[in-house]
Amino acid sequence: MQVKFPKTFYKIRGMNLDMAYFLVEGFLEPYLIYINNSSNQFCAGVNHELAKILSCEVR
What dihedral do alpha carbons 7, 12, 13, 16 form, nearest 10°? Answer: -160
- Average of per-residue pLDDT across 5-11: 85
pLDDT band at 18 (very low <50, low <70, confident <90, very high): confident
> What pTM, to 2 d.p., does this model score?
0.52
CA distance 37 to 56: 27
pLDDT in tens, 26-59: 888 888 887 787 766 667 777 787 788 778 755 5
For residues 43 and 37, is the Cβ–Cβ distance under 8 A? yes
Is 15's pLDDT higher than 80? yes
